[in-house]
Structure 1
């Protein structure tokens, strides 16, 4: 079994950015995202494909349920449904525009990992992120949050 990532990030269609809590039913997962569970840290990105502007909040997963496959015989990306409590709002922008130039996937930079996981295949999804990316993203939030 793969190691449990230290944190996760989601890129999804989100219209009410100032909500105290969010629900994300049947979300596609990639890069370890299927291992998300209650108590995990989650960084929330409002998908630019649906008019959002990237990173806007940090939250804690309050509920996580693995969804059954719709087609047990064929290939299917694992999906989960999660509920998230909002902890803090981002203080600086971070989205496709800021990450676009980070295309050297092997350079070890947190920006490159995010660009690869979110924008190389631009579908909305939950992804596991490395400790370095979690630390990088934490810098976008108030120290007390």
Structure 2
């Protein structure tokens, strides 16, 4: 089992389950599998507020590459069942001060992986970042 973060448009952050088809993956995100823990960030680019929930992956399937395109970011479709709602805020504004990419802090890892690029994506997390995020539930 591993821990991941997903930053995506989440229309209903309080829903009991979600489907996320064909999500971009970075930083080991393509290895996400059934049973893994995923921390859900409602993308601020789509009006979200950052960390909203934690869940368990109930389905994961790699999206086949589109023919005729040489370089493609791996994509995975996942289904997630919510296990907890975030009790306090964690988003772009809270993570922005952590920009010393070599300081080893979990906040910096999250800022780098989730917000350095604006794209929505699934990213793999270190045990330290996962432990930090678990404190929000």
TM-score, with structure 1 as normaliser: 0.92
Structure 2: stretches of 5+ with no match in the other structure: none
Q: Does the alignment pair 1:118 with 2:88?
A: no
Q: Name the structure 2 match of 1:109.
A: 105
Match of residue 134, structure 1, among 125, 130, 133: 130
How far did 1:73 drift?
5.0
**Partner Cα distance (2:87, 2:113) in 1:** 22
Figure out how many residues of one structure are paired with residues of the other and give that number.
137
Question: What residue ranges of structure 1 are gaps of 5+ in the alignment?
Answer: none
Structure 1 counterpart SS, 2:109? helix
Equivalent residue, structure 1, for 2:51? 55
Q: Encode CA deviations 1:73-122: one digit per residue, 9 max, x unaligned.
A: 50000000000000000001000000011001110100000000011111
* Distance of 1:129 and 1:72 partners within structure 2: 32
Residue by residue, what CA displacement relative to the aligned partner does 1:33-91 show, whole Å, maximum 9, x if unpaired?
00000000000000000000000100000000001001365000000000000000000
Which TM-score applies when normalising by structure 2? 0.97
Tell me which stretches of 4 or more aligned residues in structure 1 moved more than 6 Å: none
- 1:39-118 equivalent positions in 2, closer than 5 A: 39-71=35-67, 74-118=70-114
